[in-house]
Structure 1
Amino acid sequence: MIYSIDKLIKLYGTGTNLPSLAQWQSLVDGKLDTPLTVVNFFKLRTVADRQLIGESMSGNEAFAKYAETSVPKVSEVGGHFVLRGAVEADFIGDNLQHWDIIAIGQYPRRENFLQLLTDKDYHTAFKYRQAAVEKQNVYFVNAM
């Protein structure tokens, strides 16, 4: 299947807490048949962005609602989580950014991750992630 940057941007957009055009390009330009590890760092809002979801809830509640769909969808497309959990404490480094949740997902092929992003149910749930998250950093990592 051919994945279009235009389609991904139409589905998700670009900007704050979303990939830039160059980052979307990097995702789509990667070799579709190579493994992909996605490392996510999340800082949650105290109160979820009601404008995005149309209801009042905490950032934790909104993220949990996103996870209700996203976790099984990752498995459905062939991926799995190596780690999902709340950050306990910082250990090494100066001026460390505090994150609430870290999640590491692995996909047998980059194409599996793209299948996740283009899944209708995942896309519908993604608004809860956006409503929950104050800040996030997401990295693609090649296993060593």
Structure 2
Amino acid sequence: MTADHVFAALASPARRELLRLLLDEGPQPAGRLAERFDMSRPSVSEHLKVLRDAGLVAENRKGRERHYRLEAAPLMELRDWLSPYERFWRERLADLTTLLDDLPDETGRDETGRDETGRHQTLPDETEGEKEDDDVRRQDD
């Protein structure tokens, strides 16, 4: 199957849920899968047919039942198709991280603790501010 068939099959939330069920719970008969959905059994069977035609599930007949299992090969092909885009976004996010690291923080300092003039800046000790607040409260009493 082509990537287009696989993408078309994955476009449906119901079909993605069928794949998730087969991944999490293993091969199952169509009837058991249909019980999990708020739709008719023929509708679930149609979704399973689309997945089968795309190569995403395999069907085995056992007596009168049809059992379905996940086939991962088409998903691997999609992963291969998507990997250049993953690299693209990873590079963009790395560039963004570098840009953000170079920006000064809300105190005007960069990651080294230096301000825009290049001087190392320290913040006043917060405990001193707390002492001043306590002194003001005592004077008000």
TM range (shorter): under 0.3
Which structure's relative contact order is higher, taking Cα pairs within 8 Å and 6+ residues apart? 1
Larger strand proportion of the pair: 1
Could you state the TM-score of these two structures normalised by the residue count of structure 1?
0.25
Query: Which of 1 and 2 has greater Rg?
Result: 2
Could you state the TM-score of these two structures normalised by the residue count of structure 2?
0.26
Larger helix proportion of the pair: 2
